[in-house]
Amino acid sequence: MFIDRAKIYVRGGHGGNGVTAFRREKFVPRGGPSGGDGGRGGDVWLEADVSLNTLLHLRYNPEHTAARGRHGEGSNRSGREGEDTLVRVPIGTQVFHAETNDLLCDLKEDGARWLAARGGRGGFGNSHFTTSTNRAPRYHQEGSAGEELELQLELKLLADVALVGFPNAGKSTLISTISAAKPKIADYPFTTLEPNLGVVDVGDFRTFVAADIPGLIEGAHTGAGLGDKFLRHVERTKLLLHLVDVSSAQGRDPISDYEIINRELEAYNAELAERPQIVVATKIDALDEPERLESLRRLANKDGKPFYAISAAANQGVRELVFAVVAKLDEIGAIEIRSVQTSEAVV
């Protein structure tokens, strides 16, 4: 199950109390105060982990508290510090304050850490308060409470390329063709209910990550369909592949579909309208009205966007499209040599 939002509660460990104690030994009549300090409470850390791709494990385990510090003891023995608690999250997790909705942290790299809740300070024992005028203090300090906070976590997938378009535009078929991803493919709308990541191997140890975003419809930015739930995953991508079905099987107008998706992207985030975009006409193996393809080509050329026509099912034009994607990513400096960072295998 793909979960991209979770609310958690974090609390640092309480600091241990100091202690009031006096040294008592044979032949030492005036041993003096010997109360040790309390140990510091543990911290709560959030760490990005490449092996995770969902927040599901936090949905059912929302409370995370670090261990408290041990109390001080006699003979000037300090209490042991509390152990830290580590909360692992997927790469691309944003951390917001649950009440103010302020962005506190953005964990974009594997191993990146953020201190979510600091542990409390340990209290001083009575030996800490000894002075020349107060040789035998009979008081100590309590440990302080650890910080506590309620956090809203949101996962925004880190991918180079996002496949966007209406339901049944051929996004899942394309990503299954160019990568080892195995999304569900069926002939009905909203087959894809969660984003799918696929790693595309382009040779010379170079790869790029493609994200299959669930189908968008008109009004997606206001919550229609699955839109606003998954549009956030488009924000982190560097290039958009706008897939438009030019066959007449769905009874849709490709020009209208193209314009609606672009309006929804702009309405959700104005920056998405400026994002590099390649227009891809799909299902040309089922094309029965060539004018549908040519009208979309003219509109894409008018908007100054590269245009490609493919059939992922027949593997027609896919290779040329992948080369075009690589060239565009090279142009914007997005592609790099790296190891695989998703659960999908490389083909």
For the chain, list the domains and their CATH numbers.
5-155 (2.70.210.12), 161-337 (3.40.50.300)
Find out whether 212 and 161 touch, Cβ atoms under 8 Å.
Answer: no
DSSP alpha helices (H): ranges in 16-153?
Answer: 56-59
Average pLDDT over residues 274-287: 89
Residue in the block written with tokens 């896919």: 318
Q: Which residues of 114-148 are buried (b: 16+ CB within 10 A; e: fewer)?
A: bebbbbbbbbbbbbbbeeeeeeebeebbbbbbbbe
Give yes or no for residue 189 having a pLDDT over 70: no
Per-residue pLDDT at 150 exceeds 80: yes
Choose the weakest-confidence range: 83-87, 314-318, 341-345: 341-345
Q: What is the mean pLDDT of residues 298-324?
A: 91
Q: Which residue has the higher pLDDT, 181 or 342?
A: 181
Q: Which of 17, 67, 42 is nearest to 119 (CA)?
A: 42
Mean per-residue pLDDT, 106-129: 93
pLDDT band at residue 218, thresholds of 50, 70 and 90?
low
Phi first, then psi, for residue 57 (nearest 5°) are -65, -20
- pLDDT higher than 70, residue 341: no
* pLDDT for 98: 92
Encode pLDDT of 29-46 as tens digits. 777 899 999 999 999 999
pLDDT value for 251: 75
| pLDDT given for residue 80 in this prediction | 95
CB atoms within 10 A of CB 297: 16
Mean pLDDT of 213-228: 56
Q: How many angstroms separate the CA atoms of 314 and 234, rounded?
A: 27
Q: Which of 2, 6, 3, 228 is nearest to 96 (CA)?
A: 6
> Alpha-carbon distance 184 to 164, whole Å?
16
Percent of the chain with pLDDT over 70: 85
pLDDT at 190: 46
284-to-187, 304, 312 alpha-carbon distances in Å? 16, 22, 9
